[in-house]
Amino acid sequence: MKRLFIISVFVISIGSHINGQAISFAGGASFISPKYLTFQYFIDSYNLYHKEYLQSKLNYLPTSVGEYLNASFHGNHLTVDLGYQAFNMSSNAIFINGDSRNFDFRVRTMDLLMGGGFSKKNLGIWAFGGLYFGLMKMDSYYKYNDGTVSFGLDKFLNGQFSNGMSGYTLGIKSSIPVYKYISILLKVEKVTAFRGSLRYNALEDRNTSRQALGAYIPTDFYHYKDIITSNSYLPEEYQTRTDLEGFKYTIGLQIDIFK
């Protein structure tokens, strides 16, 4: 409710200063087809290192569905949006002895979008671009074949990792009227993490009691022990970052509040 209130106040304040058609609120589901390069490097190297002991390999993060909330001002040719998305994803490997290595991700982001297009009688289509920011949390744990779950020092990679994430998004959206002030909202967008001088943030375990085994997830697990043997910490170029990207598809129900 707090998020929805903040979104509402922000968009209503913008809409009150621009001559347009409507302020709308929407809720629905977002689907993301993720591309997570640094974690995929880790997955490939982890599977290679353990190939003789795995019953099933670590999987790339699958297409996932999550919660979507949005507030929007849309005029005849302008749209301003503030949105919130929440995704949960996981990857796990099962060993021949029945043990498993597990990674559970929780991703929460907000985006601010602006665009232009056409709108008439609740029917509209817009192209947009904008920025997003958020938080990624990842629980890495080992599950023994008797059901015992360990986050402790008995295994490398155990921990509860997190860091911020940011980037930009480009896409199109459309509203299709169904009844009076109610429309179906459709969005397709490409999400890209920031690069260059705003380099990715590394997933870091904030629990200092576990950091004797490393505070970061390595991109190259195959040579992980060699790397940390020759360094007091895992060098930045070998740290898994919050560089989650991909295509995102959204469908929701939109209600015009002010028109």
Q: Each residue of 210-223: pLDDT tens digit? A: 655 568 899 998 88
Range scoring the smallest mean pLDDT among 166-175, 179-188, 193-202, 243-252: 193-202
Supply the pLDDT for residue 127. Answer: 95
Q: Which residues pair with 249 in a beta bridge?
A: 31, 188
Rounded distance between C-alpha atoms, residue 129 and residue 116, angstroms = 10
Q: What is the pTM of this model?
A: 0.86
Domain boundaries, the chain: 2-20+28-258
What fold, for 2-20+28-258? Porin (2.40.160)
Can you tell me the mean pLDDT for 35-62?
95
Rounded distance between C-alpha atoms, residue 246 and residue 36, angstroms = 8
DSSP string, 73-101: EE-SSEEEEEEEEEEEEEEEEEETTS-EE
Q: Each residue of 63-107: pLDDT tens digit? A: 999 999 999 887 778 888 999 999 999 999 999 999 999 999 999
Rounded distance between C-alpha atoms, residue 183 and residue 186, angstroms = 10
Tell me: pLDDT of 1 over 90. Answer: no
Contact 128, 113 (CB under 8 A): yes
Task: With cut-offs at 50, 70 and 90, classify the pLDDT of residue 231.
Answer: low
